[in-house]
Amino acid sequence: MHFDDLLKTLGELGHYQRTRLFLICLVSIVCAFHAMNMVFVGANPKKKCEIPQVNLSSVKNVSADQWRTFLRSADEDACEIYNPDEVYESITNGSSTIQELTAAGTNVTFSKVQCSDWQFSRDVYGSTIVTQFYLVCDSAWLRSTSKTLYFFGRLLGAVVFGQLSDIFGRRPMFFAGLLMLLVVGCVAAASPSMFVFIPFYILQGAAQTGLFLVAYTMCTELVGLSYRVLAGFLIQGFYSIGYMALSGVAYLIYDWRYIEVAITVPVVLFAAYLCILPESIRWLLSKGRVEDAKVIIKKVAATNKVSITEEMLEDLSSSCEKQKEAAIDDRKYTFVDLFRPFRMLILSLNVWFNWLVNAMVYYGLALGTDNLGGDPYINFMIAGAVEIPAYIMCVLLLNRVGRKKPLTVTMIFGGISCIASAFVPKDLVAFKVTLAMLGKFGITASYAIIYLMAAEVFPTVVRNIGMGISSMSARIGGMLAPQILELRVFWDPLPLLVFGVLSSVAGGLAVFLPETNGRPLPQTIEDVTHPDKLKHRDEMTLEITPNGTKEQGKENEKC
């Protein structure tokens, strides 16, 4: 008997599953906080060089504003100013007036000096790492580097947590991620310098991604086949709620250190889950730990108020024993198994490329919200809000039309929207923003679908490894997104054009992915490389009665 068959009796989404699904989804709110916090923690407010004060009382027709304006005109970014001593001497000895110097513009011959003090605007943002650590001019690279390294940390977290959760289980790595996020988040908030902040920010990225990866896998493995779509999109929906809520948190708190504390300390509340969340039954069965799985199955049955017989459990146990005797569970699976045989390699590369492009476009559009004009907090909230209808659309469609077609359509639709937005004139702001948000809508939907498909196409024995490398691919896409945005220096529409073309290409390749709708989760590599066997298993039915099971087909020899 396959576990999905037993779930039809236990309840595919009974009270037991609903409660734990909701609790796991709450964690994704915190994950969203930490995934997007750099938008506000690392915000770059408007700044002006603080001009040294001089005695202008003896100088005719020179106001303090004229003095500051002229000195700052040496450099648009105000990293350098005209030498105050030279300018002061020139206007005091009568060789030139401030009006003449201003009219001359860049033709003046004064030397330039590096600005040593800064005045940051507090109209929009409060204290950020830019204002705290003076990440301007020669130090500005630390701001962009911290973002890149954060995504590198997320890459490490995807690989490490994916591998370890397949070896040691979902539950221990879930709580390891929570503990790690709590510690590194608090240390990052108290960092005295960027050279302390950056290492712990990297670890923060690793903890956030590892935690969300494990939580997502736990959600999809918790429920029955009919509710996998709902579970996958529910946790994504809670992520969007965290996305939107972050703008409110940042607006109210207004200081990067306290923002870090506010999004980190709530992790303590999840310690209560130690008494509530069990290990994944599917993972236990894949490792041959049938007795441990039986204990949890009985708790599920009691909570859902259904009856299961010892015959059902023994049938499940017998199937797993045969699998164990075949030495399927005895060997340790690693990421190498995702590259063999050839059919598995092609599948893996296709999934990973789709993840890379989805993340690249998703974060590229998200990081570009500051170009919309208006209030950045409202813009950020809108960018998160547009995700909700995308998820609702997916929930309504995926069980009806499958996964593959919606993935292809939404990626190509998002790509075309980005391409169209790239060629809209700048003066048509509303139209340009609308097309960009349609692109965000499409890429949000496709990102969620590929997340679900990856959890469904990779077999149980390497599912978290496959999801880990998928998430690693997404982190590479995230690291590339800011660099692609810098292509504006060559041609302003180029970033949107690149995002649109890559999204359309990835959507075309998605056609070659297998359809997973209505299929059991593959357990072994053979289920993927020989899909006819998995289809045969799907076609075998078991009539489950209160007194036991009645076989209507050959015995299923897989858990």
For the chain, list the domains and their CATH numbers. Answer: 3-44+131-512 (1.20.1250.20), 47-120 (no CATH)
**Mean of all residue pLDDT scores within the chain:** 81
Taken in order 394, 395, 397, 400, the sign of the CA dihedral is positive
pLDDT, tens digit, for every residue of 283-293?
888 888 888 88
The residue-averaged pLDDT of 183-199 equals 93
pLDDT at 553 over 70: no
Taken in order 456, 461, 465, 466, the sign of the CA dihedral is negative
Q: Is the pTM of this model over 0.85?
A: no
Any long-range contacts for 3-6 (C-beta under 8 Å, 24+ apart)?
3/281, 3/282, 3/285, 3/316, 3/559, 4/224, 4/225, 4/520, 4/521, 5/542, 5/544, 5/556, 6/297, 6/308, 6/312, 6/316, 6/544
Predicted confidence band of residue 8 (pLDDT cuts 50, 70, 90)? confident
Q: DSSP code of 524?
A: S
Task: Report the pLDDT value the prediction gives residue 551, as an integer from 0 to 100.
Answer: 36
Task: Report the pLDDT value the prediction gives residue 550, as an integer from 0 to 100.
Answer: 36
Span between the terminal Cα atoms of the chain, in Å? 6
Task: Report the pLDDT value the prediction gives residue 334, as an integer from 0 to 100.
Answer: 75
Name, in order, each residue with C-beta under 8 angstroms of 550's C-beta and a sequence gap of 6 or more: 542, 543
Nearest to 460 by CA among 368, 369, 558, 367: 558
Q: What is the SS3 string spanning 416-475?
A: HHHHHHHCCCCCCHHHHHHHHHHHHHHHHHHHHHHHHHHHHHCCHHHHHHHHHHHHHHHH
Nearest to 269 by CA among 30, 454, 82, 37: 30
Name, in order, each residue with C-beta under 8 angstroms of 433's C-beta and a sequence gap of 6 or more: 372
State which H helix or E strand residue 512 sits in: none
Task: Report the pLDDT value the prediction gives residue 329, as an integer from 0 to 100.
Answer: 47
Q: Which of 68-77, 491-500, 537-546 has the lowest mean pLDDT?
A: 537-546
pLDDT, tens digit, for every residue of 424-450?
887 777 788 788 889 989 999 998 888
Asked if residue 406 lies in contact with residue 396, where contact means CB atoms within 8 angstroms, the answer is no
pLDDT, tens digit, for every residue of 194-217?
999 999 999 999 999 899 989 988
Nearest to 20 by CA among 393, 304, 211: 304
pLDDT at 555 over 60: no
What amino acid is encoded at 1 in this protein?
M
Task: Report the pLDDT value the prediction gives residue 66, as an integer from 0 to 100.
Answer: 74
